[in-house]
Amino acid sequence: MPDPFYDPESEERLGRAFDQRLAWRLLQVAHPHRGLIGGSLLLFPLIAVAELAQPWLLKVAIDDHILKSDWLGLTWVAGLYIVVLLVLYGLRMLEDYLMQLTGQRVIHDLRAAIFGHLLSLEARFFDRNPVGRLMTRVLSDVEAVSEAFTSGLFAVVADVITLVGVVAVMLWIDWRLTLVTFAIVPPLMLIAVNFRLNARDAYREVRRRLARLNGFLQESLQGMTVIQLFVRERHERERFGRLNSDYRRALYRSMRWEASLYASVEALGSIALALLIWYGGGRIVAESLTFGALVAFIQYTNRFFLPIRDLGAKYTVMQWAMASSERIFGLLDRAPEIVSPAAPAPPRPTGPGRPALEFVGVSFAYEGDAWVLRDCSFRVAPGERVAIVGATGEGKTTCARLLNRSYDVRQGRVLVDGIDVREWELASLRRHVGIIFQDSVLFAGTVEENLRLGADGTVSDAELARAIETARAGFVTQLPQGLGEPLGERGANVSHGQRQLLAIARALVYNPAVLVLDEAMSSVDPESEALIRQAMTGLLAGRTSITIAHRLSTVHAADRILVLHRGRIHEEGTHPELLRRGGLYARLYQLQTGGMPA
């Protein structure tokens, strides 16, 4: 079943510059900060009044004082003009601060909500959605939403309030001059509509080119070792250059549309100014209009066209914000497929004769009908050490993932302590069943922080030291800062074998009742393998365990070996029993050792 969130074209889409549904949802996100938003909205009319007062003061200064040679009155008007300017700058500073503060708080809340939601999503979601796309949701898309509050939606509201005030004052001063100014509006609307239609395509192309550039860059950085190994630097540089040039050309096209809009509005504004001077000059000669009124009209006309000149920038901001909002809410609306039941079954101790783990007729496929497991059934007794082996792709790791509900079975049941895993509370299940994977993940932080990852502060220093000793991770004491030694990204400053030993120590600290080891000794040197074998002896003592392995030499000591073939348990028994049987296990052993099974 296709994932409802994943969409290969989602990075290339652009929505409308304003979507009422998305805007309403953004306001809901911003609702906790309604005090800041209300304060910003209260400032808008005050700022508009201060803006509109300046041309009016010029009119008063010219008509009532300059033309009448009233120096004292002119001084008072000039002083009042300066006060209005200072008030305007103060209000604008406060408005900008409140809008930026609102935007930052909204993106803080959104990022926290997105990350919290990602933590609740199942493994299948991350299989289908690249990390780069999810990082774009948490970082770039949320930043675009912030712009909607600071440079988009709020700015549009402020412009509308100012425009309404400008039109009202112009009509009050002289409705005839206002009609002269508005004669430019029809061609201005045609230009704006044409810009919107063409700019949308230009911005879509920018987004498409940027998505391709980001995808190539992420792939190249992740595969840099392979690129250098095969001397592909020149080829990759040329590919990057082509993609970078395509992105630059797409940006130039969008910039041309913005520049064309700006230039067109400037030209129409100049035409409106010329018409005002021609018509207003005639009215002044006829003494039906004052010179101050004409000067004020010119000032108001500039304020009328200014927000229209900035339409391109605001349109871009709102379009990005709406497209980003759609992707963000599309992610947040995607409900987790794997959740704890409403009434989890209470855990119960393993009783006599009841297996610790059991697969009952389990069938599972990652996609469609490509079955990995087919009617697979087996039991693991309490305290038993079981190994699962088989060729690549037979479903060994899938068994581990089904045990802790990283995925849910399609058919059949997986039981832990006699309870279906779908009836367990998720946190309890995952504390009960621990998994050590082939590639152990260590996080940026100290060694101690990684070892205490799931302990929630309940492990003493003595218990931590005992876990390190049991795991044969004595190299920790030789690190410059010991347990306080910082680890690089994914533990890059320690070897693969040391990462595995730390993972074993972490499992001892976590102390699950059931432990699954998934290829825990693959890709390590013989010395590290010997240490890991010793560590596992302490780790598995008295614990139910499943060891998943390709290398059959690592499972000789298992109480029972299960051989997976074509999604079912094909054979089971101890190592000597399976070799004597001469079946699939014996053939696999022969292929790996190069000798005849004993």
Between CA 188 and CA 305 the distance in angstroms is 10
Asked whether the beta carbons of 447 and 485 are under 8 A apart, the reply is yes
- pTM comes to 0.76
Distance CA 367, CA 371 (A): 8
CB 387 within 8 A of CB 549: yes
Residue entry with tokens 């990995």: 372
Whether residue 84 contacts residue 50, with contact meaning beta carbons closer than 8 Å, is answered with: yes
177 Cβ contact list (under 8 Å, min separation 6)? 170, 276, 279, 280, 283, 289, 293, 294, 297
Residue 379, SS3 per DSSP: strand
Other Cβ atoms less than 10 A from the Cβ of 585: the count is: 26
In whole angstroms, what is the distance from residue 5 CA to residue 274 CA?
Answer: 55
What is the C-alpha separation between 239 and 30, in angstroms, rounded?
42
Range list of β-strands (E), 297-448: 357-365, 371-380, 385-389, 411-416, 419-420, 433-436, 445-446
Q: Which neighbouring-strand residues pair with 196?
A: none
E-only strand ranges, 296-343:
none
CA distance 450 to 462: 16
From first CA to last CA, the distance across the chain in angstroms is 47
Among 503, 541, 543, which Cα is nearest to 522's?
A: 503
For the chain, 598 residues long, give each residue's pLDDT as a single digit of tens.
444 444 444 444 445 556 678 778 888 888 888 888 888 888 888 988 898 898 888 888 888 888 888 888 888 989 999 999 999 999 989 988 888 888 888 888 888 999 999 988 888 888 887 777 788 788 878 888 887 777 767 777 888 888 888 888 888 888 888 888 888 778 877 877 777 667 767 776 777 787 778 778 877 887 887 888 788 888 889 989 998 998 898 888 878 877 777 777 778 878 888 888 888 888 888 878 888 888 888 888 888 877 777 766 677 777 777 777 888 888 898 888 888 888 888 766 666 668 889 999 999 998 888 899 999 999 999 888 999 998 888 888 899 899 989 899 989 999 998 899 999 999 889 888 888 877 777 777 788 888 887 666 667 778 788 888 877 777 888 888 888 888 876 666 777 778 878 888 888 787 788 888 887 665 555 666 676 677 677 667 778 889 888 778 778 888 899 999 988 999 999 999 999 888 888 888 888 776 544 4
Whole-angstrom Cα distance, residue 331 to residue 5?
6
Structure tokens at 389: 């082996």
Nearest one of 495, 522, 517, 491 to 504, comparing CA atoms: 517
Beta-bridge partners for 487:
445
Rounded to whole angstroms, the Cα distance separating 339 from 405 reads: 9
| CB distance 52 to 297 below 8 Å | no
CA distance 477 to 475: 5
